[in-house]
């Protein structure tokens, strides 16, 4: 081989080495980027979980407490209604006691509904289909 051929051969081998190094550098960089993105994603999920867990447990606690209060109120109301019926039955027949005990809560509900509709301004018109 003459010296010019050797020089050309060396230049080609250096160029090929540079291309293979660049390709391996790009693949390494791409691999690192994907790994970093997966770490960031995992950390964000952990952060979200650490923020959501206390919120959800507090929400569940409030829901359970509200259900306990609701059922306690319903049972208490039933007991008071039964006591009223039994008290009225001392002076009235059963059918009159039951009618009065059922009519009083209905009348209270109608009065409360009328008061709430009169005092509060409606969020929507009464008939949304009319322009």
Mean pLDDT throughout 78-87? 89
3-state helix, strand and coil shares in percent for the chain, rounded to the nearest 5: 85, 0, 15
**What distance in Å separates the CA atoms of residue 7 and residue 1, rounded to the nearest whole number?**
10
Q: Sketch the domain layout of the chain as residue ranges.
A: 3-119
Inter-axis angle of helices 94-119 and 3-89, nearest 10: 130
Confidence of residue 125 (pLDDT cuts 50, 70, 90): low
Of the chain, the percentage scoring pLDDT greater than 90 comes to: 24
Compute CA 50 distance to the chain's CA centroid, rounded to the nearest angstrom: 15
pLDDT of residue 126: 57
How would residue 108 be classed by pLDDT, with cut points 50, 70 and 90?
Answer: confident
Average pLDDT, integer, range 125-130: 58
Q: Residue 20: which pLDDT band, with cuts at 50, 70 and 90?
A: low
């Amino acid at each position: 081989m003459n010296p010019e051929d050797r020089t050309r051969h060396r230049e080609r081998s250096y160029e090929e080495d540079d291309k293979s190094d660049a390709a391996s550098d790009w693949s390494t960089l791409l691999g690192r980027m994907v790994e970093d993105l997966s770490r960031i994603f995992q950390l964000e999920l952990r952060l979200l979980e650490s923020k959501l867990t206390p919120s959800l447990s507090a929400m569940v606690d409030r829901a359970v407490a509200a259900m306990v209060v609701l059922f306690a109120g319903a049972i208490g109301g039933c007991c008071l209604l039964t006591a009223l019926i039994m008290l009225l039955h001392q002076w009235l027949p059963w059918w009159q006691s039951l009618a009065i005990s059922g009519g009083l809560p209905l009348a209270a509900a109608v009065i409360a509904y009328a008061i709430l509709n009169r005092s509060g301004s409606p969020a929507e018109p009464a008939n949304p289909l009319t322009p």
